Amino acid sequence: MFAELKGDEMTDILSINVVGLVLCSNLAVKSMLERNIVGHVINVSSMLGHNVVGILNFYAATKHAVTAISKGLRMEIAAKGSRIKVTQISSERVETNFHPNLFHDAEAGRKHSKAQILHLNSY
């Protein structure tokens, strides 16, 4: 829940999902452009980069940032005439301890389908 997030947790989420991605993509693109090679930047995101779930709104915001960065980078590189490709992979829910912990019950977390989780967005 947003109100329960601590400052250091927000910083960690932003650092991993946005800053880390930007730093890696930046170095990769610079290297590819300097060497004039055909390359491919692959940014890993989430379906939450295209939707928002109320209880995951801060996390979703960082994944929306990944979407904006990927689209913007793709346009910037294309405008330079480079053949570097930029792809964003937006996965659905991945089986980790995150979802069971989100629902405070491992079995309940496993039972929630994508549709059920996204349904929370309507509240």
Active-site residue, from 59, 60, 66, 77: 59
The Cα 92–Cα 61 span in angstroms is 16
Strand ranges inside 8-119, DSSP E:
40-46, 85-91
Is-contact 61 2, C-beta < 8 A? no
Which of 76, 98, 100, 99 has its CA nearest to residue 86? 76
Residue 59 is a catalytic residue: yes
The Cα 37–Cα 31 span in angstroms is 9
The Cα 39–Cα 77 span in angstroms is 11
Catalytic residue positions? 59
